[in-house]
Structure 1
């Protein structure tokens, strides 16, 4: 389980670093190398590198390891005194389902199904939002989902700023300099990730209020939305660097996470 978990964090970190690099290219007028600034774009970017096919398999297997570890937390409880709480087990079960989906999409992409892992998050978001809006009470459902994503984003950012991630790390095994670096990456990376989630939630709320599924945005369009604001390119660049920092922080978690 330790190897599975650490492999999963390392794989997650690589995806976030690649998304951050693509978003940084978009910030200064580029098209991000023709890739979307989301998981699909990261896989496309990785596939084009030397040994890209092998790396895709490694990432997919690593994410499958993350799913397996989350399942073990749901069944047996996690590390720490609160690891066996029902809320922690439920959260672990949700993450297990999420990482099952992500790992399957990456492995399918590695096996040659280019429509699996590389689909646009924006298109998927539009399709799902359009379907839900057509349901009875669909506007309320989309609005509730938007509020939930905003709350999740704010929660992520606040926890990062308060350095709550330290509770899950073996801080005593780090040198003072390493702790400062990990704190910096955890705060900036977690805050940037939370801001992106919260912004996506706001777009979902707008889609619900206006009953226009096209207003909902996936990660790529959410990031590009920062570029349209005053001082947008620089703001997007800061967010992009923050997402890359979260990727680096994930590698630190892979090394020092309590398991």
Structure 2
């Protein structure tokens, strides 16, 4: 059996798809928690990190938080495996030419990136579930410091910053042009549901993309100043937005957008595209 056939078989597994749906819901919950932390930051009502680690820490402190973290973690693992299966499906397209090969390469890169993101978030969730903790900002600073120690480290960090900024711009364009609709099967959705999904996706992807651009800019600033402490991740991006003119209102808008993305993930779980 070929790798692509194996991937198709795995990707079409009902058990894996159901777990992947749990993972999408978990991904949405994390974004809703980040949005809540961002709103608290904007209006002076909280001191937690407005990022993934802050969201998981918030959940860990709630009743039944540990079981929920286990569910989130395992669901995100399934989501990462689902994306990994998508990578193998594109292998056959590499033997083609022209647009077919380009589509396969782009599809593989996107699937790998998503699998890595989901896997990293799954590890963080499971770490909190087992009583551990982690800081997204601290990890990014530590990683940046390690890269700085490599030959041409500042150059590598600068490239990483450009990649993150480009990714953020891509998310914004994806939201504006409604390209996210290609990732969700809405054939069974009513016209009203489709309008809701479209608006949530537009708002969510634009807000998330804007946050990525700020994260990339901070990483670029760290490269320019040769100071890893400037690479503060999403939490640092939230604080940067807060310090801008009308920052409280701007951060509130970002929070609403991230919350919209979280709800979009719920619809993504309801109407998954099955390739």
- Structure 1 unaligned blocks of 5 or more: none
* Residue equivalent to 1:156: 171
State the shift of 1:122 in Å: 1.6
State the shift of 1:123 in Å: 1.5
* Residue equivalent to 2:10: none
- C-alpha distance in structure 1 between counterparts of 2:18 and 2:267, whole Å: 14
* Residue equivalent to 1:95: 114
SS in 2 for 1:5: helix
- Structure 2 unaligned blocks of 5 or more: 1-15, 92-99
Q: Aligned pair 1:39/2:45, yes or no?
A: no
Q: For the Cα contact (< 8 Å) 2:83–2:112, is it kept in 1?
A: yes
State the shift of 1:50 in Å: 2.3
Q: CA RMSD in A?
A: 2.0
Q: For the Cα contact (< 8 Å) 2:73–2:123, is it kept in 1?
A: yes
Q: Map of 1:223-238 to 2, 5 A cutoff?
A: 223-238=238-253
- C-alpha distance in structure 2 between counterparts of 1:95 and 1:227, whole Å: 28
Q: Aligned pair 1:239/2:254, yes or no?
A: yes
- C-alpha distance in structure 1 between counterparts of 2:182 and 2:118, whole Å: 23
Match of 1:210 among 222, 225, 232: 225
Q: For the Cα contact (< 8 Å) 1:169–1:256, is it kept in 2?
A: yes
The count of aligned residue pairs is 251
Q: For the Cα contact (< 8 Å) 2:60–2:128, is it kept in 1?
A: no
TM-score (norm 2): 0.86
- C-alpha distance in structure 2 between counterparts of 1:125 and 1:104, whole Å: 15
Match of 2:196 among 159, 181, 196: 181
Q: Aligned pair 1:72/2:91, yes or no?
A: no
